[in-house]
Structure 1
Amino acid sequence: MKLLLVCNAGMSTGIMQVKLTQSANARGMATEVLAVPLVELDDHIDTATAILLGPQIRFALNDVQKKAPDGVPVLVISPPDFGTMNAEKVLNDVMAAVAK
Structure 2
Amino acid sequence: MKVLLVCAAGMSTSMLMKKMESYAKENGIDVAIDARSFSELKDPKEAGYDCILIGPQIAYMKDKVLKRANGLPCDVIPLKDYGRQNCPAIFELIDKLLA
Q: Which has the higher helix share?
A: 1
- Measured against the shorter chain, the TM-score band is 0.7 to 0.9
Unaligned 5+ runs, structure 1 = none
Whether the 8 Å contact between 2:7 and 2:54 is mirrored in structure 1 is yes
SS at match of 1:45: coil
Q: Shift of the alpha carbon at 1:85?
A: 0.8
TM-score, with structure 1 as normaliser: 0.87
**What is the aligned-residue RMSD (CA, Å)?**
1.4
Whether the 8 Å contact between 2:9 and 2:36 is mirrored in structure 1 is yes
Q: Shift of the alpha carbon at 1:33?
A: 0.6
Structure 1 pair 67–58 and aligned structure 2 pair: CA distance change class (3 A): same
Unaligned 5+ runs, structure 2 = none
Q: Shift of the alpha carbon at 1:10?
A: 4.8
Residue of structure 2 equivalent to 1:45 = 44
1:18-70 residue CA offsets vs partner (Å, 9 max, x unmatched): 1111222223222111000110011x512211101100111111111122233
Residue of structure 2 equivalent to 1:68 = 69
One-letter amino acid matched to 1:45: P
Cα distance in structure 1, aligned partners of 2:84 and 2:29: 22
Q: How many positions carry a matched residue from both structures? A: 97
SS at match of 2:41: helix
Residue of structure 2 equivalent to 1:31 = 31
Identity %: 34
